[in-house]
Structure 1
Amino acid sequence: MSARKSAVPSPEGIARADRQRLAAEEGVRAIADVERQAIEVRKNMARLRELREAKEVADAALAATQPTPPAKKRSRKSAP
C-alpha cells in the first residue's frame, strides 16, 4: 500500500487549515482580552487603594483634632 499525496489540497484539508487558523486567531484575541482586563483590574485596585489611604489619613487627622472622650465607668449587673 502506497500513500498517495497530491499537490492539490483536498477540501477537507482546506477546511481543517481554515479552522486551525481561525482558532489560532481567536486564541490570540482571547489572550489579549485577558491581559487588557488584568491591566484594568490593577488600575482599579490602585485607584481604590489611593482612596482608602486618603480616607485613612483624613480620619487620622480628624481623630487627632477631636478631644478624647471621657472614659466610661463599667457598670456591673448584679446577679439576681
Structure 2
Amino acid sequence: MTAARVSAAQSKLRREIDAKLAIKEHEAEKIAIRAKTASLRAARLAREAEAEAQAKAKPSRVKMAKPRAKK
C-alpha cells in the first residue's frame, strides 16, 4: 500500500471509532435524561398527591348568611 492509502485507511478507522464513541455517548445521555425525567415526574406526582390529600383533609370554610334584621 502506498502512504496515501495507509493514511486514508487510518483516517477511516479513526472516524469509525469516533462514530461508535459518539453513539455510546448519545445513548448514555438519553438514559440519563429518561432517568431524570422519571425522577422529576415522580416528585411532581407526589407533590400533587400531597396537595390533593391536604385539600380533602382541610374542611372548606363556608360563610354563613347573616340573619336579616326584622322590620
Q: Which TM class, normalised by the smaller chain length?
A: 0.7 to 0.9
TM-score (normalised: structure 2)? 0.84
The answer to whether 1:40 aligns with 2:22 is no
The CA distance in 1 between the partners of 2:13 and 2:31, in whole Å, is: 27
Task: Count how many residue pairs are aligned between Structure 1 and Structure 2.
Answer: 63
Cα deviation for residue 67 of structure 1 reads 1.8
- Structure number with the higher helix fraction is 2
Cα offsets for 1:7-63 (capped at 9, x unmatched)? xx0000000000000000000000000000000000000000100110011000110
Q: Which contiguous aligned blocks of 4+ residues in structure 1 show a shift greater than 6 angstroms?
A: none
Separation in 1, partners of 2:28, 2:2: 39
For 1:68, which of 43, 47, 60 is the aligned residue? 60
| % identical aligned pairs | 24
1:23 is matched with which residue: 3, 15, 36? 15
Compute the RMSD of aligned alpha carbons.
1.1
TM-score by length of 1: 0.75
Distance 2:61 2:14 in 1: 69
